[in-house]
Structure formats: structure tokens, C-alpha cells
Amino acid sequence: MTLDLAVLEAYHDLTGAAPEGIWRAPGRINLIGEHTDYNDGFVMPFALPQAAYLAAGRRDDGVIRIVSVDLGETFETSLHELRPNHDGWHAYLAGVFWALREAGHDVGGADLALASDVPIGAGLSSSAAIECVLVEALNDLHGLGIAPMARAKLARITENAYVGAPTGLMDQAASTLCTEGHALFLDCRSLQVQQVPLDLAAHGQAILVIDTLTRHSHAGGEYATRRADCEQAARLLGVAALRDVSVDELNRRLPELPDERLARRTRHVVTENQRVLSACAALRADDLPRLGQLMTASHASMRDDYEITEPSVDLAVETALANGALGARMTGGGFGGCVLALAPLDRVEAIATAVTTAFSESGRNVPATFVVLPAAGAGRLA
């Protein structure tokens, strides 16, 4: 059953009636620009075909009922009971009502049925998908007229202030603002965006996602130390953020840092920002081989300078490159998760097979592999 039908049916089971509408918001994958967001830098995600679907209808008694088709669970609360918490999957949704009301928007209760095929915890932003789909639905149902970037910010407030997960704006901006056939260039300081053509199919190319299924339990701690390193380096260099150091001045400035570790962290962030700008230019020039080179360089920088890769993602990248990918890199916070490989359509299957074989031969679990094309951002289904 397709997910739109699944949520329609679940909504009917919950309420005995039809919903007022069905909304969709996608997961995202970051094409390039890793650990640049908290350095006021650049990122370039695109929306996945995988998405969260939500059937929704208003209630006038302040009650919120949510059924998750995927988890087979129903949760019920009411508007006056909303308090920031991290008590489960429903916080990502209850928190949206809270964030909207804190911002002064007059939203009432609702019945909601949710289903999503964004893999959970794979770094493809299943959390932003479910936040953004609900922001979208409530914005439409109550005629709130909130602009797209402001909708993304409200979804982020849900995750930061209600659920308590300290994430940047990229995930929610991508889920809300992306358009089909484009990547979204986002300047994390100015919040300016550009839709950058990423028409892979027209060039006979595709992006293969390889979910290594490796999840690192210390990723949160490592993330915090990388952030602290960047803040320290920026302070020592006398800039507001590492965004303010250019590639041209990098070699002159690095000796000012007291140790090799801070120098390497800085070099990753500064060169990665430049790679995002170069990737943007490459896409505008229709130069996909150049994009591939930049992706591979990004991976090397994450591996050698930022030290956030691990053997499974390195193996996936090396195997993809050895089997005809134009470029490949880990995407997401690090220490596992997904790799994306840019490859000619007729090489994709061979790459997936080669990676699967390499993983089996080294005693690893078989990775999940799937092809993605840049999909549309959040919206209401017709």
C-alpha cells in the first residue's frame, strides 16, 4: 500500500471520518558541506523521494491524537499539557503545536495519522520530515500564511527547544524548501538559499545511497568536541566563525593555531566551505565530473582532517570509486551512516553489488542501497 493510502486508512480507523487533507514532507541527504553549518558556512542538501505522509483534521476540543502507522502506536495529549520532553517519537509532533503556539499562532487540537519511509536514524532526517509535514499541515489548515523559511525555523525550534536535540537548520530547510531536480544551496549565516539544478537523469547519472547500517554510539560526544574545536579555533584566529577564513588565507593563518588538531579541524571547515561553492558552480556549469571530484575530496577531508569517518564508510567510498563512481563521500554527522556515490546510471547496479560483496567479505552486515533523484519539498497532496 502506498503511504498516502496508509495514512488515509489509519486516519479513518482513528476517527471514523475522512481527513481534511494529506501532506508530505521528505527526508534529505546532504550532497556536500559537512560540519559547516555550525561554522556559519554553506551546505547543499537535496530532498529524497522518501518522505513522511500525514493525514490531518482539526479538532475544536484542544485534544491531539496521533497514530504512527510505522510503530503501530497511538498517542494522545492536549494543548494545555504540552511541555518540552524527549519521551518518545510523539515529542517531534506534539512539539510542533507547542512551537507554533509559543510563536503566537492560534492552532487548536487535531487528529493525525503518520507514516514515513525515511529510514529512522540513518542521518536522512526522518525527524525533520515528521516535524515539517505537521508544520505544513497546520499552516494550511489554520490559514496561518507562515513563509517557507519561517516554517522551517518553527520545525527546528520543535527539535531544539521541545525535543531537546541541538541541530542546525539544514534538515528542516531542506525538507521544506527543496524543489524537484534541484539541490538547495543554503548559507547558514544569512539563511539565503539558491535552487541549484541537479538534473541527474538528464545527464545519465544517478546518486546511489549506501546505508552502511553502522551507527556510532559516541557520535554525539564526538560532535560536541568538533564543535568545541571549531569555536576555539575561531577565537584564536580572531574571527566570528570559521566561515570568515578563506581558502586563500588558510596556509598563512594555520601556523597561528597552537596544535595540529585545531589546524586540521580548521582546514576541513575552510576547504569544505570552498568545495560547496565550487560544487554549486560545477552544477551551474553542468559539470558533473567536477562535482564527483569535489565529493571525493570532501570525503578525504572528513577522513584525514576532521577524523569523523570509520572503516565501513571508507570501504563503501573506496569500493564505489573503484567501480566507476564519479565521486563518493560519507554524508551526515559521521562515524557511520550513509555514503552517497555519484555514478552513471549503467554503473549503479555494479557499484551496489561490489559494495555488498566487499561488506560481506569483510564480515560486515549487508548495507542497504538505493538510488535517489532530487525530489520535491513539503506540500499538500492534491
Residue 124 φ/ψ, nearest 5 degrees: -105, 15
Q: Does 132 bind ligand ADP (CB under 6 A)?
A: no
d(CA 366, CA 105): 47
CB of 85 to Mg ion, least distance (A): 17
Q: Min. distance of Cβ 328 from Mg ion in angstroms?
A: 23
Residues 33-92 that bind ligand ADP (CB under 6 A): 68, 70-71, 89, 92
Q: Is 127 in the site for Mg ion (CB under 5 A)?
A: yes
Q: Specify burial of residue 204 (Cβ count, 10 A radius: 0-12, 13-18, 19+).
A: exposed
Q: Which is nearer to ligand ADP, 126 or 205 (CB)?
A: 126
Terminal C-alpha separation, the chain: 18
Q: Least distance in Å: CB of 25 to ligand ADP?
A: 11
120 binds, among Mg ion, ligand ADP, none (CB under 5 to 8 A by kind): ligand ADP
Residue nearest to Mg ion (CB): 127
Query: How far apart (Å, rounded) are the C-alpha atoms in residues 111 and 362?
Result: 48
Site string for ligand ADP, 282-321 (x = CB under 6 A): ----------------------------------------
- 127 forms part of the interface with ligand ADP (CB under 6 A): yes
Supply 280's cell numbers.
554549486
Minimum CB–partner distance for residue 335 and ligand ADP (Å): 13
Distance, CA of 33 to CA of 36 (rounded, Å): 6
* Sign of the four-CA dihedral 218, 221, 224, 226: negative
- Residue 307 CA to residue 335 CA, distance in Å, equals 9
Minimum distance of ligand ADP from residue 160's CB (angstroms): 12
Give the DSSP letter of residue 375.
B
Which span sits near ligand ADP by CB under 6 A: 119-127, 192-200, 288-296, 320-328?
A: 119-127
Q: Look up residue 338 and give its three cell numbers.
A: 550513509
Binder of ligand ADP out of 1, 5, 18, 120 (CB under 6 A): 120
Binding partner of residue 55 among ligand ADP, Mg ion, none, CB cut-off 5 to 8 Å per kind: none
Concatenate the DSSP letters of all residues of 275-305 into one string. HHHHHHHHHHTT-HHHHHHHHHHHHHHHHHT
Question: Is there binding between residue 114 and ligand ADP (CB under 6 A)?
Answer: yes
CA 188, CA 36: separation in Å to the nearest integer? Answer: 8
- Closest approach, Cβ 26 to ligand ADP, in A, equals 12
Quick one: 68 or 127, whose CB is closer to Mg ion?
A: 127
Locate cell 487528529: which residue?
111
Contact characters 68-107, Mg ion, x per CB under 5 A = ----------------------------------------
Q: Which of 126, 278, 301, 319 binds ligand ADP (CB under 6 A)?
A: 126
Nearest to 28 by CA among 139, 108, 132: 132
Q: Which of residues 237-266 bind ligand ADP (CB under 6 A)?
A: none
**Is 155 or 294 the residue whose CB approaches ligand ADP more closely?**
155
- 171 is known as an active-site residue: yes
Name the binder of 363 from ligand ADP, Mg ion, none, CB < 5-8 A by kind.
none
Please answer whether residues 243 and 273 qualify as being in contact, where contact means their C-beta atoms are separated by less than 8 angstroms: yes
116 in contact with ligand ADP (CB under 6 A): yes
**Residue 335: its H or E element:** none
* Phi and psi angles of residue 68, each rounded to the nearest 5 degrees, phi first: -100, 110
State how far the Cα of 8 lies from the Cα of 180, in Å rounded to an integer: 25
Q: Give me the least distance between CB of 46 and Mg ion, in Å please.
A: 16
Contact predicate 92/169, CB 8 Å: no
Instruction: Look at residue 116 and give the partner it binds from Mg ion, ligand ADP, none, a contact being a CB closer than 5 to 8 Å depending on partner kind.
Output: ligand ADP
Dihedral sign from CA coordinates of 245, 248, 254, 260: positive
The site partner of 71 among Mg ion, ligand ADP, none (C-beta below 5 to 8 Å per kind) is ligand ADP
Which of the following is catalytic: 171, 211, 229, 305?
A: 171
Nearest to 186 by CA among 330, 45, 284, 282: 45
69: its cell numbers: 502507522
The residues annotated as belonging to the active site are 171
* Residue ranges binding Mg ion (CB under 5 A): 125, 127
* Residue ranges binding ligand ADP (CB under 6 A): 68, 70-71, 89, 92, 114, 116, 120-127, 130
